[in-house]
Structure 1
Amino acid sequence: MNRRQILGCGAGMAALIIAGPVLAATAPDAGRFTVETRGQGPDVILIPGLSSSRAIWEPTAKALAGRYRVHLVQVAGFAGAPVAGNASGPVVAGVAEGLASYIQAKGLKAPAVIGHSMGGSIGMELAARHPERVGRLMVVDMFPKLAVAFFGPTVTPEQIVKNAAMIRDGMVNTPADQAAVQQRQTIAGMVKTESAREAITQHALASDRDVSARAMEELLLTDLTPELGKITAPTTVLHAFDKAGPFPAATVDGWYAGAYAPLKGARLVRIDDTAHFIMVDQPDRFQAEVEAFLKG
């Protein structure tokens, strides 16, 4: 499995369907996202990835709700949620700015932020551009410059723009039946847990194509490397490794170490025997890392 399969593309980054109670909801930032809150205690914001549902965080939320106040983000247009404010404009940066406003409006005191995949990019943007509003940051299996993972380290800016547009157009224009086949193939490389794949596929297919495509293009065009030095929050980066893949662990470790070198003091943790959805493939190990991260 190569890095493109691990990180996924298109609407394939969708979430495991797990039901959970809604204790409160808000719709900030002109409807770019909604938030469910539950529990009491220090604040933890959980951000899902591209085309994902906040339900991917349900096991994490249940484990934390007795000791923390958990804020589960749902990006508008993903996993069947109404498109709302994401009908136009930047999705990733829009959600990041909206979360900065949400933190201020709700009076949250330096919340912990955990983001998976695209959610990790949102977390990095939030922590870099509003460092005073993030207490600590966890990025789950995401690079600060996704284009390198997709197109290789020698890709030029012009090639990135061209390739990102091609991916965007493909996501929008692929016939529905073909898109469903592609989703299943993509997700097979993103989730080792076979029983979770169909539910993840259905959330991907329920996502608005235009919103997902524009968000994907935005991710590929964004390089957060120059902004990493602005992040002051203690940061943990979890990354997936599958020994069945073509690269040894040391090589994968090196990719992440190089990518996050500008973020001084970042804790990089490899999670073995997992694909991109670490919380699905290795739930116990993932939760242990979350607990260690929150305790500091």
Structure 2
Amino acid sequence: MRARTMLAAIGIALSSASMASAQSASPPPATVESDRISVTVEGTGPDVILIPGLASSREVWAGLAARLRQGHRLHLVQVAGFAGLPAVPDPDGRVAAPTTEAIANYIRRERLTAPTIIGHSLGGEVALMLGARYPDRVGRLLIVDALPFYSLLIDPAATSDSVKPQAAVFRNAMLAAPATQAEAMQSASIARLAKTEAVRPALIAAGIRSDRKTVIDATYELMTTDLRPELGRITAPVEVVYAYDPIYGVPASNIDATFRNAYASTPHVSFKRIDGSFHFVMLDQPEAFARVVIDFLGDGVTATTNR
């Protein structure tokens, strides 16, 4: 069903983190705090910044981090207001944009040279903002199940202005919903976001720990922010990884077209579809996802050019 596809990609649910970190003999990670983000640093090697999605904890990357930390220095971001981290109110009700600014400042302050950025869902939008608005501070971008304008999944002809009334209705309804209703919606939505039943309880619990207004503000921002006009400014290679499962009720070719059309103005972009997965690709298909990431981080990474 198209509604299932939309929910899976936008992460409208109060989705959150995944499994506990794997045991490691590495030294305890260092954590860098700022008002907008908390960053845990572990491993040694080329710098990789991992940005989780809506209401997610950095722990969503735990399985991947266990495989990468021996050869890379990982910067695991957590966004203020998500999964128990204290919220930081924004006068304009934004979340992704100020998070982008905070990560750009972190890259400059820590003197990171062309780090690879990996972002899932809302984190993918942040990665695109970094690439378009701070092209000199990033290396490669790996976008995980994220679109530059999520409302295309509701209406392919949508514009930022046309979706604002619908986004406002959703925002107001969620703000007014009692806690019991919000928790019930959380459980129902996670079933559409994670195919693997074993990971769902942790996702639900961590989502409930997120600040509701921050999550709602972020969802409104995702629904009304169209980054397509900015994609042409990205100079870094971009790889878009996205999920597909037959339960969506649409042909895989339709999903392929949705992603390729959305990124049509991106100068250097390639695409990888991972089948048998819902929105949380790294949890539903961890081995396939890890192979894609490891290939992307290798010396032989290439990207096609849109014309």
TM-score, structure 1 normalization: 0.95
User: Structure 2: how far apart are the matches of 1:100 and 1:194?
Assistant: 36
Structure 2: which 5+ residue stretches go unaligned?
A: 302-307
Partner of 1:98: 102
Instruction: Give 2:147's match in structure 1, choosing from 140, 143, 147.
Output: 143
* Farther-moved stretch of structure 1 (260-269 vs 33-42): 260-269
Q: CA deviation at 1:157?
A: 4.3
Partner of 2:305: none
**Is the Cα–Cα contact under 8 Å of residues 17 and 56 in structure 2 kept in the other structure?**
yes
Q: CA deviation at 1:174?
A: 1.2
Structure 1: which 5+ residue stretches go unaligned?
A: none
Partner of 2:132: 128
Letter in 2 for 1:7: A
Partner of 1:154: 157
Q: CA deviation at 1:144?
A: 0.4
SS of the aligned residue for 1:244 comes to helix
Q: What RMSD in Å do the two structures reach over aligned CA positions?
A: 1.5
Q: How many residues align?
A: 292
**Is the Cα–Cα contact under 8 Å of residues 117 and 140 in structure 1 kept in the other structure?**
yes
Letter in 1 for 2:261: G
Q: CA deviation at 1:9?
A: 4.2
Letter in 2 for 1:4: M
SS of the aligned residue for 1:271 comes to strand
* 1:228–1:43 distance in 2 versus 1, CA, 3 Å: same
Residue 213 of structure 2 is aligned to residue 210 of structure 1 = yes
**Is the Cα–Cα contact under 8 Å of residues 81 and 210 in structure 2 kept in the other structure?**
yes
Residue 67 of structure 2 is aligned to residue 60 of structure 1 = no
**Is the Cα–Cα contact under 8 Å of residues 43 and 108 in structure 1 kept in the other structure?**
yes
Q: Report % sequence identity.
A: 41
User: Structure 1: how far apart are the matches of 2:157 and 2:263?
Assistant: 18
Partner of 2:6: 4
Partner of 1:14: 16
User: Structure 2: how far apart are the matches of 1:199 and 1:88?
Assistant: 31
Q: Deviations over 1:219-246 (max 9, x none)?
A: 1111000111111111100011001221
Q: CA deviation at 1:265?
A: 2.6
User: Structure 1: how far apart are the matches of 2:175 and 2:33?
Assistant: 26
Letter in 2 for 1:74: Q
Q: CA deviation at 1:158?
A: 4.1
SS of the aligned residue for 2:240 comes to strand
Q: CA deviation at 1:180?
A: 1.4
Partner of 1:24: 30
Q: Deviations over 1:171-214 (max 9, x none)?
A: 22211111111111111111110011111011111110011111
Residue 169 of structure 2 is aligned to residue 185 of structure 1 = no
User: Structure 2: how far apart are the matches of 1:169 and 1:267?
Assistant: 37
User: Structure 2: how far apart are the matches of 1:244 and 1:215?
Assistant: 27
SS of the aligned residue for 1:269 comes to strand
**Is the Cα–Cα contact under 8 Å of residues 11 and 205 in structure 1 kept in the other structure?**
no
Partner of 1:288: 291
* 1:47–1:214 distance in 2 versus 1, CA, 3 Å: same
